Structure 1
Amino acid sequence: MADTEPIDVLFCANPGYYQHLAVAAVSLVEHNRGRPLRLHVITCDEDPVRRDMLERTLAAWPGIGLHVYLADGSVIGDFFVDGFISKECYLRLIASEILPQHVRRVVYLDCDLVVMDDISPLWTADLGANLLAAAPDYPRLPEFMSDEHRDGLGIPRDAVYVNSGVLVIDIDRWRAEGMAWTFIDFVRRMGSKLPFFDQDAINAVLAGRITLLDPRWNLQSRMYYTGRKALPDDYAATREARRDPGIIHFTGSEKPWLFRSRTAKKGVYFKHLEKTAWRGQGPACRTSVQALEHHAGAVLARHFDLDYLQLLFKARRILERSGAVVTGSPAGAGLRTGAKGN
């Protein structure tokens, strides 16, 4: 693919996540200067105010195309979701039927991530006969790896379970094989047997047809808090990725934008937030003191790559080991009070 060809990048989100989509988009543009980009956003709901903010954010970079598509929410309206995630997570599975015909391949990105490098290697990744490329899911938590989970979904026990936050999708081939309808049927049949939603569906339906990406292209931020002893194999597999991440992905409930959320590398989120129409905005804190605490934490993270909650967490562990603090005592409480993300 020629360097002058635009890279098609896909996001799927409800408007409530447009702030974080804007951060991901800004980080993408900042690290891919000189390469034309077409950003595609699929959503189920209109929000003129937030859409205008997203458009104003990207207007600062001439030549960046932004295309928003309103999907028929009834198609995925009965798909299984819970309080942690919204129905829009399934839109990536049916994107081939929503995007215009000239879009033949996309790099899909979740909104809760920050791009740290040129994504050309993703755009040009050789999929061979496969339909999709994705990075292994690290850390490999027991709930993903259990035989019961895999057998229930039809995922081979020896298959590498991948994370669905960064994908390279052959849209042409998905159209030719009617993959959107295959996924629709699978998700409706499995229902609540998909505890990890679209990610479970991708690993099950596309088993044996996934090209593996280097972990640096989808490094989950919690890997920075995973020690050698806890998950030695995962630690070794992601060592180089942590030194030079291509994309940092804030998976799980601990998001940078939440109040008192202990999140590694949150500073890169706040750096790019300042270049969006949401600059300076924080979570809905109960008191002015809490708002000040969040602001001070963001400044420390943005300028010094310090998470004060992680420092407090380490201090508490040291005190516990020395016997100065009893585990579960009030002195150690309240260090992780961030609410779940959407």
Structure 2
Amino acid sequence: MDIVCSTDDNYIKYCCVMLTSLLENNKAENITVHVLGDNLEKKHKEVLRDIVETRYRQRIFFYIIDNKLVKGFPNSAHSYLSLVAYYRLFITSVLPATVHKVLYLDCDLIVTHSIKDLWNVDIVGRPLAAVKDAHKGMKEHCALLEVDCVRYGYFNTGVVLFNLDYLREYGLEHRAIRFIDEKRQYITFHDQDVLNGLFHKQALFLPYRYNLHDRLYRRKRYVDAETLPVVREELKHPVIIHFSSGKKPWKSRCLHPCRYLYFHYLDMTVWQGERPDMPLKDRLWRWNRLLASFLHLANGYRKQN
């Protein structure tokens, strides 16, 4: 399996947690990790090598992405997303031509079971495979991007199975940059909007269990009535849990019901026992939010079985 992730020095800890969860639950597989980064510090590379090579006996390679390539790309001042998210748009020119398929994983997720079945999904003739996204205002947002999400869907790019042969022939890098130039005023979710703009008609949609993103755990899920039973069943069989909201598990205001699983894998790293500070104002915020959710005044999380 070829796994790709993007990170900078600020996100190394979370990248380590993600990789630990991946490798811990896929010990029987031969895995090569490809890390896209902007000239990561030597000490951070060593931490990653220690996990991948020393502890789990797998392989890891690093690729330098010049941040000047994405410096002028759209980035909202209020977004929790980093420009690092755009790095994956350059995978066809950075990764060796001998790599034909990769599984991209965001660093704000954990892998809880084997991904062998996911890796074996047939994407011949397809650019990529991903899980459908769900968020408020998606139809309006997609309309601005000229993405027909009602007919074709709109996918989340936290977990993507990429067909590199298809993307190289297509000219991903060139077309992505052109799309950004044409739609920059409408791009909100960085590379996710770009990839949907290019491939929403050709994408293969995966079962939700391979990217249980934040909205699927909420009371209001922003999916149609026919999909709700499917989501409920998929939540019983999680493979990848994606903490896709701005309130990450390592932050004091995270209320995600699977937050404890993040700490489970964090405690397998050199940051064992580390927990976010919980000042009084954040405790009050949490109590207020929980009460609002209980009273259905806020779109809080559902209780998990």
- What TM-score range do you get, normalising by the shorter chain? 0.7 to 0.9
2:100 corresponds to which residue? 104
Once the 2 structures are TM-superposed, how far is the Cα of residue 277 of structure 1 from its aligned partner? 2.1
Q: Which residue is equivalent to 1:124?
A: 120
Aligned in 2, Cα 1:290/1:27: closer, same or farther, shift over 3 Å? farther
Q: Deviations over 1:223-243 (max 9, x none)?
A: 223258997555323111110
User: Which residue does 1:56 correspond to in 2?
Assistant: 50
- Which residue does 1:305 correspond to in 2? none
CA distance in 2 between partners of 1:201 and 1:229 (Å): 22
CA distance in structure 2 between the aligned counterparts of 1:203 and 1:23, rounded to whole angstroms: 28
Q: Match of 1:74?
A: 68
| 2:100/2:165 contact within 8 Å kept | yes
Pair 1:22 & 2:37 matched? no
Q: Secondary structure at the match of 2:86?
A: helix
Q: What amino acid does structure 2 have at the position aligned with 1:153? A: L
Offset of 1:143 from its aligned partner?
1.9
Contact 1:54–1:277, Cα closer than 8 Å, also in 2: no
Give identity over the alignment, percent: 26
Name the counterpart of 1:44: 38
The one of 16, 33, 36 equivalent to 2:27 is 33
Q: Is the 8 A contact 2:252 2:278 kept in 1?
A: no
What RMSD, in angstroms, separates the aligned Cα atoms of the two structures? Answer: 2.8
Does residue 145 of structure 2 align to residue 153 of structure 1?
yes
Residues 132 and 210 in structure 1, CA contact (< 8 A), matched pair in contact too: yes
Give the number of aligned pairs: 295
How far 1:260 moved relative to its partner? 2.7
Task: Quote the offset at 1:101 in angstroms.
Answer: 1.8
Q: Is the 8 A contact 1:183 1:205 kept in 2?
A: yes
Paired residue type of 1:57: I
Question: Distance in 2 between the 1:253 and 1:234 partners?
Answer: 25
Deviations 1:190-217 (A, max 9, x none): 2131112111111111121101101110
Higher Cα Rg, which structure: 1
Matching residue's letter, 1:136: K
TM-score by length of 2: 0.87
Asked if 1:265 corresponds to 2:258, the answer is yes
TM-score, normalising length: structure 1: 0.78
Deviates more, 1:216-225 or 1:113-122: 216-225
2:216 to 212, 218, 223: 223
Compared with structure 1, are the counterparts of its residues 31 and 122 closer, same or farther at alpha carbon in structure 2 (3 Å cutoff)? Answer: same
The answer as to whether partners of 2:126 and 2:166 remain within 8 angstroms in 1 is no
- Give me the whole-angstrom Cα distance separating, in 2, the residues matched to 1:51 and 1:98: 18
* Deviations, residues 144-179 of structure 1 (Å, cap 9, x unaligned): 122xx3232121241111101100001122112211
CA distance in 1, matches of 2:16, 2:185: 31
Q: Work out whether residues 159 and 208 of structure 1, in 8 Å CA contact, stay in contact via their aligned partners in 2.
A: yes
Pair 1:78–1:317, CA change in 2 (3 A): closer
Find the aligned partners of 1:59 and 1:141 in 2 and give their Cα distance.
38
Q: Which runs of 5+ in 2 are unaligned?
A: 301-305
How much does 1:59 deviate?
Answer: 4.0
User: CA shift at 1:27, angstroms?
Assistant: 0.8
Give 1:299's aligned residue: none
Tell me, yes or no, if the aligned pair for 2:3 and 2:104 is still in contact at 8 Å: yes
1:8-63 deviations in Å (ceiling 9; x for gaps): 00001112111111111111111111111000110124222322222223344342
The whole-number CA distance in structure 2 between the counterparts of 1:35 and 1:229 is: 36
CA deviation digits over 1:296-342, x for unaligned, max 9? Answer: xxxxxxxxxxxxx58x7555666x69xxxxx99xxxxxx9xxxxxxx
- Tell me, in whole angstroms, the C-alpha distance in 2 between the residues paired with 1:229 and 1:66: 38
Distance 2:199 2:250 in 1: 33
Deviates more, 1:66-75 or 1:108-117: 66-75
Displacement after TM superposition at 1:133 (Å):
0.3
Determine the C-alpha separation between the residues in 1 that align with 2:230 and 2:190.
Answer: 25
Does structure 1 conserve the Cα–Cα contact (< 8 Å) formed by 2:135 and 2:215? no
Residues 315/204 of structure 1: CA separation in 2 closer, same or farther (3 Å cut): closer
2:273 paired residue number: 280
Residue 40 of structure 1 aligns to a residue whose secondary structure is: strand
Task: Find the aligned partners of 2:175 and 2:235 in 1 and give their Cα distance.
Answer: 36
1:171 and 1:24 mapped to 2: Cα distance?
Answer: 23
Query: Residue 191 of structure 1 aligns to which amino acid in structure 2?
Result: R
